[in-house]
Amino acid sequence: MALRAGGRALRLLPGRLRAPAARLGSRGAAEAQEDAEVNTRKKTFTEVQTERLEQAERTVLIKCPSRLNEKKLLQYLSSHGKINSHFFFENRGIHALIEFSEKSSVASLQDVVGIPKAVEHHVVPFKSRLFTFTLKNPVAKTAEETPVHLSPQSHIPVNELIQKLHKADSISSQMYILLNEYQLTEENIKLRFLACSLVQDFARAYFPDSTVKPFGSSVNTFGKLGCDVDMFLDFRDAQEHAAKMKKGPFEMEYQMKRLPSERLATQKILSVIGDCLDNFGPGCVSIQKILNARCPLVKFAHQPTGFQCDLSVSNSIAIRSSELLYIYGTLDPRVRALVFSLRCWARVHGLTNSIPGTWITNFSLTMMVMFFLQKRSPPIIPTLDQLKELADEKDKHIIGGYDCSFVSDLSKINPTKNTETLDELLCDFFEYFGNFDFRKNSLNLRRGKEVNKPESSPLYIWNPFEQDLNISKNVNQPQLEKFVAMARESAWILQKEDRTQRMINKEPWGLAALLIPFGKSNTNKMRRTKGMGSETIRSLLDSLKLSNASNLQKAVGK
């Protein structure tokens, strides 16, 4: 018997800023915990990742029976060492994640865990940190059952979200509610790092000094519940260790296999690890080795955690991109609230898709938001060049000839003096890109400026580090036109709606009105009437009307 979590307290996770206290309600008994999180948020990206990777090595995952006594389970596990934290979740059955205080506790538990009896299938005797817990006499234990709280591992459906947004008192509050419902929870982040750590156990059978680390949405503060886990096999720590060993009057090196190119070495390594996961990895299924891609990778499903995973090798520039977004997401709470709201809006209207294609990707949309926030007056986040100016020697990174240097110490970055509300920012984002000259200009986040397009792609967003690449090269003309049309329509709705009346009528308003596909709900259709009280607003609405097709085509360069 289990209780599913009915909601989460409105707070953000360690490594990021939370919404202003006025929007979060009373602090109450959680005050001490939130104060501790303030200190955690000041840590650098690398410090946070290092702590979480170490936590994951002290963690085990246990599949439990549907009926269990939580107290007795924890008492038994505690006999192997102190438990720092634990939680239960549902994924093809009930699972418990147990984090011990010491890594030796994991070894102690492994020493007493039995090998499954081979009845129909022979088992591969790899001793992982995945266990199955069963009751020897389940009938006699029924009276001792206690309900367990299940940590949610997916976000609520959009229609349920819209109902929650009705209860807010401003668009800003609606955006923080969406953020709270969609962002990765502390428990989900721990599960992601554990998935990486379990893959690392296999990798270290071949490469003892290697590590497997998550990157992208799992660590950059912009991950949504249910998103894939991008991970990479890192040999950098081993290489740094080798460099230290070269000091002294003589030199000694390992004899190693030599291959003609780094790409070939990457392909061979991933091929072996992919086979290892496929043949011996408990819960690793649907392995696909995509070795001829620009960035070779192995895709697989990790059933115990429920994640779809992509494994690559030493993806250094991707890690720098993750850290850059981590910094932007941590500097100001409005950044993440705006990104999450716009990503949800884009998915509802079919502007983004989980399947690769000609539409705008979540990464491109996030970079458009970052550029928009750099353009505010005063700016809400700094440009990449400004972050580079604050970098010291340890922050300097040249990767493949590209300068990926920027400051890592958040305390060196001055807070913004911009006081705009999220209400204003959301509407202005739609207005800005609804009237952006995509035919002529591109977005450059290093400089925070619109610059002339270097080539004729419909949408051109400079890669922040690999400056010869366009991260939105996949976007075609029809998809860009659709984005501009939706941005203009959304700006028009936010400007035109009678919020008070819609709240009285219990109709979707503000952000909620934008999360209903346009034209599919009478509630969301806004009749465009004349007689606006302000000439300024009237001219703005006229400029946003989609009936003026020629203006739309001119903006996107058709």
Confidence check: pLDDT of 160 > 60: yes
Segment holding 538, helix H or strand E: helix 535-544
Confidence check: pLDDT of 425 > 60: yes
Specify which residues 290 forms β-bridges with: 297
Give me 126's structure tokens. 């790899």
- Closest C-alpha among 259, 319, 292, 294 to residue 465: 319
In this prediction, residue 466 carries a pLDDT of 94
DSSP 185: P
Mean pLDDT of 388-408: 94
Confidence check: pLDDT of 424 > 90: yes
In this structure, the strands spanning 2-4 and 148-150 are parallel
pLDDT confidence bin for 238, thresholds 50/70/90: low
In this prediction, residue 552 carries a pLDDT of 55
Mean pLDDT of 450-458: 94
Confidence check: pLDDT of 136 > 90: no
In this prediction, residue 143 carries a pLDDT of 52
Mean pLDDT of 142-152: 75
- Residues making up the chain, counted from first to last: 558
- Closest C-alpha among 329, 265, 358 to residue 15: 329
Rounded-to-integer distance, Cα 36 and Cα 553, Å: 52
Mean pLDDT of 180-204: 97
Mean pLDDT of 232-236: 88
Average pLDDT, the chain: 85
Segment holding 444, helix H or strand E: strand 441-444
In this prediction, residue 110 carries a pLDDT of 94
In this prediction, residue 271 carries a pLDDT of 96
Give me 148's structure tokens. 């367990």
How are strands ordered across the β-sheet holding 148-150? Answer: 2-4, 148-150, 83-90, 94-100, 59-64, 130-132
| 335-338-344-347 Cα dihedral, nearest 10 degrees | -90
More confident residue, 42 or 554: 42
Q: What percent of the chain has pLDDT over 70?
A: 81
Mean pLDDT of 442-457: 95
Confidence check: pLDDT of 246 > 90: no
Rounded-to-integer distance, Cα 348 and Cα 350, Å: 6
Q: For 507-546, how does the pLDDT look when each residue is reduced to its tens digit (9 = 90+)?
A: 899 999 999 998 754 344 434 333 333 344 444 444 444 4
Segment holding 242, helix H or strand E: helix 236-244
Rounded-to-integer distance, Cα 366 and Cα 370, Å: 6
Cα four-point dihedral sign 155, 160, 161, 164: negative
pLDDT confidence bin for 7, thresholds 50/70/90: very low
Mean pLDDT of 336-343: 98
In this prediction, residue 185 carries a pLDDT of 97
Give me 42's structure tokens. 């000041």
More confident residue, 147 or 299: 299
Rounded-to-integer distance, Cα 425 and Cα 35, Å: 29
Mean pLDDT of 135-143: 61
Q: Which residue has the tokens 């979540």?
A: 362
The string of DSSP letters for 60-128 reads: EEEEE-SS--HHHHHHHHHTTS-EEEEEEEESSSEEEEEEESSHHHHHHHHHHPPPPP-SSSPPP----
Determine whether 342 is exposed, middle or buried from the number of CB atoms within 10 Å of its CB (0-12, 13-18, 19+).
buried
Helix orientation angle between 362-374 and 316-331, rounded to the nearest 10 degrees? 50
Domains of the chain: 42-137+148-156 (3.30.70.330), 160-182+332-381+416-496 (1.10.1410.10), 186-236+260-317 (3.30.460.10)
More confident residue, 81 or 556: 81
Specify which residues 309 forms β-bridges with: 229, 300
- Closest C-alpha among 221, 223, 203, 224 to residue 212: 203
Encode burial over 523-536: b for 16+ CB neighbours within 10 A, e otherwise.
ebebeeeeeeeeee
In this prediction, residue 122 carries a pLDDT of 77
In this prediction, residue 244 carries a pLDDT of 58
Give me 365's structure tokens. 């949309």
Q: For 465-509, how does the pLDDT look when each residue is reduced to its tens digit (9 = 90+)?
A: 999 999 999 999 999 999 999 999 999 999 988 777 777 777 899
In this prediction, residue 525 carries a pLDDT of 43
Confidence check: pLDDT of 247 > 70: no
DSSP 325: H
Encode burial over 382-419: b for 16+ CB neighbours within 10 A, e otherwise.
bbbebbbebbeeebebeeeebebbbbbebeebeebeee
Confidence check: pLDDT of 368 > 90: yes
User: Among 251-255, 261-265, 269-273, which stretch is predicted with the lowest mean pLDDT?
Assistant: 251-255
Q: For 8-59, how does the pLDDT look when each residue is reduced to its tens digit (9 = 90+)?
A: 444 334 333 344 433 333 333 343 444 444 444 578 999 999 999 999 999 9
Rounded-to-integer distance, Cα 117 and Cα 434, Å: 63
pLDDT confidence bin for 108, thresholds 50/70/90: very high
E strand segments, 445-553: 449-452
Rounded-to-integer distance, Cα 195 and Cα 399, Å: 27
More confident residue, 35 or 67: 67
Residues 6+ apart with CB under 8 A from 116: 123, 132
Give me 313's structure tokens. 């090798």
Amino acid (1-letter code) at residue 51: E
More confident residue, 241 or 33: 241
Give me 503's structure tokens. 């709240």
Mean pLDDT of 335-362: 96
Confidence check: pLDDT of 149 > 60: yes
Mean pLDDT of 86-96: 94
Q: Which residue has the tokens 């229609």?
A: 159
Q: For 292-334, how does the pLDDT look when each residue is reduced to its tens digit (9 = 90+)?
A: 998 999 999 999 999 999 999 988 899 999 999 999 999 999 9
Contact of 219 with 16, CB cutoff 8 Å: no
